[in-house]
Protein backbone atom coordinates (compact mmCIF):
# COMPACT_ATOMS: atom_id res chain seq x y z
CA UNK A 1 0.00 0.00 0.00
CA UNK A 2 1.54 3.25 -1.11
CA UNK A 3 -0.58 6.32 -1.51
CA UNK A 4 -4.11 6.21 -0.12
CA UNK A 5 -5.10 6.71 -3.71
CA UNK A 6 -5.19 2.99 -4.30
CA UNK A 7 -8.65 3.71 -5.53
CA UNK A 8 -7.26 3.27 -9.00
CA UNK A 9 -7.69 0.22 -11.13
CA UNK A 10 -4.44 -1.27 -9.90
CA UNK A 11 -6.00 -2.01 -6.55
CA UNK A 12 -6.41 -5.75 -6.03
CA UNK A 13 -9.70 -5.14 -4.34
CA UNK A 14 -11.04 -3.75 -7.55
CA UNK A 15 -10.16 -6.83 -9.49
CA UNK A 16 -11.71 -9.16 -6.98
CA UNK A 17 -14.72 -6.94 -6.58
CA UNK A 18 -15.26 -7.16 -10.29
CA UNK A 19 -15.28 -10.94 -10.04
CA UNK A 20 -17.59 -10.94 -7.09
CA UNK A 21 -19.74 -8.41 -8.81
CA UNK A 22 -20.32 -10.81 -11.62
CA UNK A 23 -23.99 -11.57 -11.70
CA UNK A 24 -23.50 -15.31 -11.51
CA UNK A 25 -19.97 -16.11 -10.41
CA UNK A 26 -20.49 -15.96 -6.67
CA UNK A 27 -23.77 -17.75 -6.93
CA UNK A 28 -22.14 -20.64 -8.71
CA UNK A 29 -19.32 -20.66 -6.24
CA UNK A 30 -21.69 -20.92 -3.32
CA UNK A 31 -23.59 -23.67 -5.07
CA UNK A 32 -20.49 -25.69 -5.79
CA UNK A 33 -19.39 -25.31 -2.22
CA UNK A 34 -22.44 -27.34 -1.25
CA UNK A 35 -21.96 -30.03 -3.83
CA UNK A 36 -20.00 -30.71 -6.97
CA UNK A 37 -22.30 -30.54 -9.95
CA UNK A 38 -22.59 -31.29 -13.59
CA UNK A 39 -23.23 -28.71 -16.20
CA UNK A 40 -26.90 -29.18 -16.80
CA UNK A 41 -27.56 -29.68 -13.13
CA UNK A 42 -26.14 -26.23 -12.48
CA UNK A 43 -28.15 -24.88 -15.34
CA UNK A 44 -31.39 -26.23 -13.91
CA UNK A 45 -30.61 -25.28 -10.36
CA UNK A 46 -29.83 -21.68 -11.07
CA UNK A 47 -32.75 -21.28 -13.38
CA UNK A 48 -32.43 -18.01 -15.17
CA UNK A 49 -28.93 -18.31 -16.44
CA UNK A 50 -28.40 -18.98 -20.11
CA UNK A 51 -26.17 -21.78 -21.22
CA UNK A 52 -23.84 -19.24 -22.73
CA UNK A 53 -23.38 -17.35 -19.49
CA UNK A 54 -22.98 -20.51 -17.44
CA UNK A 55 -20.34 -21.81 -19.76
CA UNK A 56 -18.61 -18.46 -19.79
CA UNK A 57 -18.63 -17.96 -16.04
CA UNK A 58 -17.49 -21.50 -15.34
CA UNK A 59 -14.57 -21.01 -17.65
CA UNK A 60 -13.50 -17.81 -15.99
CA UNK A 61 -13.88 -19.34 -12.56
CA UNK A 62 -11.72 -22.22 -13.66
CA UNK A 63 -9.19 -19.80 -15.04
CA UNK A 64 -9.03 -18.05 -11.69
CA UNK A 65 -8.42 -21.33 -9.94
CA UNK A 66 -11.65 -21.08 -8.00
CA UNK A 67 -13.40 -23.99 -9.64
CA UNK A 68 -12.17 -27.28 -11.00
CA UNK A 69 -13.46 -28.96 -14.12
CA UNK A 70 -13.24 -32.71 -14.43
CA UNK A 71 -14.27 -34.41 -17.64
CA UNK A 72 -15.08 -38.09 -17.54
CA UNK A 73 -14.93 -39.95 -20.83
CA UNK A 74 -18.23 -41.76 -20.55
CA UNK A 75 -20.50 -42.40 -23.49
CA UNK A 76 -22.17 -39.04 -23.41
CA UNK A 77 -19.42 -36.96 -21.91
CA UNK A 78 -19.78 -36.28 -18.23
CA UNK A 79 -18.29 -33.14 -16.76
CA UNK A 80 -18.22 -32.37 -13.11
CA UNK A 81 -17.47 -29.01 -11.62
CA UNK A 82 -16.25 -28.65 -8.08
CA UNK A 83 -14.94 -25.86 -5.92
CA UNK A 84 -11.23 -25.62 -5.17
CA UNK A 85 -9.69 -24.88 -1.76
CA UNK A 86 -8.99 -21.37 -3.00
CA UNK A 87 -12.59 -21.06 -4.04
CA UNK A 88 -13.69 -22.11 -0.59
CA UNK A 89 -11.70 -19.30 0.99
CA UNK A 90 -13.34 -16.81 -1.33
CA UNK A 91 -16.76 -18.21 -0.57
CA UNK A 92 -16.00 -17.74 3.11
CA UNK A 93 -15.09 -14.13 2.49
CA UNK A 94 -18.44 -13.69 0.80
CA UNK A 95 -20.43 -15.10 3.68
CA UNK A 96 -20.46 -11.88 5.70
CA UNK A 97 -22.01 -10.22 2.72
CA UNK A 98 -24.68 -12.86 2.60
CA UNK A 99 -25.40 -12.32 6.25
CA UNK A 100 -25.52 -8.59 5.76
CA UNK A 101 -27.96 -9.02 2.94
CA UNK A 102 -30.31 -11.11 5.00
CA UNK A 103 -30.09 -8.85 8.01
CA UNK A 104 -30.39 -5.50 6.31
CA UNK A 105 -32.36 -6.00 3.15
CA UNK A 106 -35.46 -4.73 4.85
CA UNK A 107 -33.74 -1.54 5.85
CA UNK A 108 -32.54 -1.03 2.34
CA UNK A 109 -35.98 -1.59 0.90
CA UNK A 110 -37.44 0.78 3.46
CA UNK A 111 -34.89 3.43 2.54
CA UNK A 112 -35.80 2.98 -1.09
CA UNK A 113 -39.48 3.46 -0.42
CA UNK A 114 -38.75 6.55 1.62
CA UNK A 115 -36.55 7.95 -1.09
CA UNK A 116 -39.00 7.18 -3.86
CA UNK A 117 -41.78 8.74 -1.86
CA UNK A 118 -39.91 11.98 -1.44
CA UNK A 119 -38.89 11.99 -5.04
CA UNK A 120 -42.39 11.47 -6.29
CA UNK A 121 -43.66 14.12 -3.88
CA UNK A 122 -41.16 16.57 -5.24
CA UNK A 123 -42.19 15.87 -8.82
Partner DNA sequence: CTGAATCCACTCGGATACTG
Partner DNA sequence: CAGTATCCGAGTGGATTCAG
118 binds, among its own copies, DNA, none (CB under 5 to 8 A by kind): none
Which residues contact its own copies by CB under 8 A? 4-5, 7-9, 12-18, 20-23, 26-27, 31, 34, 45-48, 62-66, 86, 89-90, 92-102, 104-105, 107-108, 110-112, 114-116
Determine, following the binding rule CB under 7 A, whether residue 118 of this chain makes contact with DNA: no
Determine, following the binding rule CB under 7 A, whether residue 7 of this chain makes contact with DNA: no
Residue 81: closest CA among 44, 46, 36: 36
Number of residues binding to DNA, judged by CB under 7 A: 23
Determine, following the binding rule CB under 7 A, whether residue 79 of this chain makes contact with DNA: yes
Amino acid sequence: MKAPNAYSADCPTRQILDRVGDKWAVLILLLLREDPMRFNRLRRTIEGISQKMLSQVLKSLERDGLVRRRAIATVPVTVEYSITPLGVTLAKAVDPLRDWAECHLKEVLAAQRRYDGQTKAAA
